[in-house]
Chain A
């Protein structure tokens, strides 16, 4: 059976192949962001001969990245705050089974994570339109909150469950009321969980396309990802510019990810497997 054992060299060779596969398209994006389009056409794989920043300046003004990234950031921050304040309370009572119907409430949240967006999108859109909430970032952050908080609740629940019960009992003996106990004792303990949730929800919001492109179509409210997709017409496209815009939008995310990768990976893996 020795022959069917993979040698160390083969193992690393295959893993490196995976590395190239994962990085390849991202490197193409980065390389070609610095090339004028004629050079991309002659050799998409070559290194840029000089660092040409003109793609970036054009991308910045055409996709109005200063403004649209600020819009993305606004929706992202509002959603993070909304999710953290609402999901932590729900996660706490579900973890400690503080309410009688905790099982049905948990099941309900679990069910909504698998609900297709199209199942609620259409009445929601026309309802919001009637209320005048289209092109309203606050309204969109409420939609994101509804979509992402079940995931946040499932994840935070595991953090609350890990807190020893004695801690609460001791605080209860001291006469601390529920509210103070939650804010002053429990929340600080689960703060690593709150950071994980904030990062992942932030990632989802920054990257989200379907809701953002449907509910925020006005020029002044558009998010960066939506403005990015509008850069190219179907037939004529300035790919150097498009890649430059892609680099600007994705670079902060990739840097944050590499810096805090444990939080991202554990959070996304934990939230989707332990549910």
Chain B
């Protein structure tokens, strides 16, 4: 029976596991991608930790995580609850909310860049001509990261709304009706009945949010390439630049290990959370 699983497993091992193990080894070597790697101990980590940009990137990933743990999850829960209580049009709303999810990140990025943020061709430019001072967020160091996050938010909240709605529909209708008869308002219903009932789904999405927040790459790379002045750099774009522009593979590997560390921590936290809930 192993033969059935072997093709999938061996492709995965060759493409992911072996290179991942090599990345761990590389983090302790100096390598330009072509010559022989040289063992350098912790030098890469020392260089990474001494780099100002690394700390900016790490800080940005943490900000990103905090934004995505709150804003889209709140919007998604709110929209899903509204969708749960309406009688007509649910499918239509769902389809439209999900549309941004299926659009390629590169296209979403360019649409926002040109049609919304752009001071000449975008909605921001139009508003400026009406006297509303809205600068292109991507062009300024204080706002670049948030400008990118807004794009990802647009692309993302509909996914969560649809996932949460699927979970909410599993909540027994009697529970909802009973709460309404008891006089629970909309937010009371959300807080006391619906959110506790789908807590496992919300927790899973939060863990995935932490993992995904440290993987974010496309939007940053396409919209600002980490700029201006590294203000929107994240760990994944930093590692990519280290590897393919500076050919410092050891440093890129060290940064990659930091990214993986956060994902691992989130996964372990989730598994422990599950175990504790199972015990209670």
A contact residues vs B (CB 8 Å cutoff): 1-6, 8, 11-12, 14-15, 18-19, 21-23, 25-26, 28-29, 32, 37, 40-41, 43-45, 82, 85-87, 89-90, 92-94, 98-99, 105, 108-109, 111-112, 114-127, 129, 142-143, 145-147, 149-150, 153, 178, 182, 203, 206-207, 209-210, 214, 225-226, 228-229, 232, 237, 239, 242-243, 246, 249-250, 253-254, 257-258, 261, 264-265, 268-269, 272-273
Contact = CB atoms under 8 A, between A and B. Distances in A.
A209 B222 contact: yes
Interface string B144-175: 00000000001000110111001100000000
Dominant secondary structure of chain A at its interface with chain B: helix
B102 A210 contact: no
Nearest to B189: A5
B240 interface: yes
Q: Which of A82, A94, A120, A153 has the most CB of B within 10 A?
A: A120
**7 closest cross-chain pairs (CB), A and B:** A4-B185, A146-B15, A89-B4, A207-B104, A120-B19, A123-B22, A90-B8
A92 to B, nearest CB: 6
29 contacts: A1-B184, A4-B186, A6-B186, A15-B83, A19-B93, A19-B97, A25-B112, A44-B115, A44-B122, A99-B1, A112-B17, A114-B267, A115-B16, A116-B214, A116-B263, A118-B235, A118-B239, A119-B257, A121-B243, A122-B253, A123-B19, A146-B11, A178-B1, A249-B104, A254-B103, A257-B95, A264-B102, A272-B163, A273-B163
A122 B110 contact: no
Interface in B159-202: 159, 161-163, 166-167, 183-188, 201
B101 interface: yes
Contacts of A261: 94-95, 98
A82 B8 CA distance: 9
A18 B106 contact: no
Given A19-B93, A29-B107, A149-B12, 9 more contacts: A1-B183, A22-B96, A25-B108, A89-B3, A116-B259, A153-B8, A207-B104, A214-B244, A273-B166
A19 B86 CA distance: 15
A136 B4 CA distance: 27
B73 to A, nearest CB: 14
B12 A239 contact: no
B96 A23 contact: yes
A225 B106 contact: yes
Nearest to B104: A207
Nearest to B270: A114
